[in-house]
Amino acid sequence: MTHLFSLPPVSVRAGRVWYRNLVVFVRTWKVNFFPPFVDALLYLFAIGMGLGTYIKEVDGIPYINFIAPAILAISVMNSAFFECTYGSYVRMYYQKSFDAMIATPLSIEDVIAGELLWGATRSVLYVAVMLPVLAAFGVISLPLALLALPLAFLGGLMFAAIGMCFTAITPGIDTLNYPMFLFITPMMLFSGTFFPLSLLPEAFQYIALALLPLTHVVAIMRMLTLPALSWTILLHLAWIVAVTAILWVISINLMKKRLIT
């Protein structure tokens, strides 16, 4: 049957699934736009102004400006990962939405691709809400910081695909807690988010760069919002594109394996 690495045939119908999720999201927009808005404020106050009182600068950058891109990157990660783990699992298992969808011309590949694209879109929407808040506090620099939006899509797609892999193999919804605590939370702390990667022991720095996807999203995001562009942005981008492409293929095939029997 389907090989784990065989290229899944995705059609433009994936857009239908994406659109369905968008319609539901927009219908409940108040509930959906409030959290990222509050999130941004909470981080700014708690870490920026609380912790920031003691830590004035990191590498010559005001601390609050240092963590602003991290707040965006973490939000990219969380929104896409949550959407394609808990969100997709509920739609797949409890609502049987995928079964209903594949009874139409949609294929399972279309459905999962639509879910992944939606996960990425959600990251973009979250960042779109947070950007004005951060800009209002003057902790990011426009207009280059607007590139955070396309970055949110790319990074969101990566975390959506990571989440979908877990969704494909999880025995139940409770076991989705494991990747949350063992993968997402450590990543949130050790990816050069609230303190520079260079403070970690050298071996850990390499591990973070090699294995923690958030590291690369934070690095690019920081270059965009400070701004402090460097050619290494290309390395980070290449890493994200490669991993996203591979996981896009694997996550769709794993879900097909789970659902088509």
The site string for another protein over 50-89 (x = CB under 8 A, - otherwise) reads: ----------------------------------------
Indicate whether 16 belongs to the interface with another protein (CB under 8 A).
Answer: yes
Indicate whether 100 belongs to the interface with another protein (CB under 8 A).
Answer: yes
Among residues 95, 175, 185, 230, which is the contact residue for another protein, using CB under 8 A? 95
As measured in angstroms, the least distance from the Cβ of 100 to another protein is: 4
As measured in angstroms, the least distance from the Cβ of 257 to another protein is: 12
As measured in angstroms, the least distance from the Cβ of 183 to another protein is: 28
**What is the 3-class SS of the chain, one letter each residue?**
CCCCCCCCCCCCCHHHHHHHHHHHHHHCHHHHHHHHHHHHHHHHHHHHHHHHHCCCEECCEEHHHHHHHHHHHHHHHHHHHHHHHHHHHHHHHHCCHHHHHHCCCCCHHHHHHHHHHHHHHHHHHHHHHHHHHHHHCCCCCCCHHHHHHHHHHHHHHHHHHHHHHHHHHCCCCHHHHHHHHHHHHHHHHHCCCCCCHHHCCHHHHHHHHHHCHHHHHHHHHHHHHCCCCCCHHHHHHHHHHHHHHHHHHHHHHHHHHHHCC
Among residues 13, 122, 222, 236, which is the contact residue for another protein, using CB under 8 A? 13
Residue 112 vs 158, nearer CB to another protein: 112
As measured in angstroms, the least distance from the Cβ of 16 to another protein is: 5
Residue 112 vs 218, nearer CB to another protein: 112
Indicate whether 24 belongs to the interface with another protein (CB under 8 A).
Answer: yes
Residues in touch with another protein (CB under 8 A):
1, 11, 13, 16, 19-20, 23-24, 27, 95-97, 99-107, 260-261
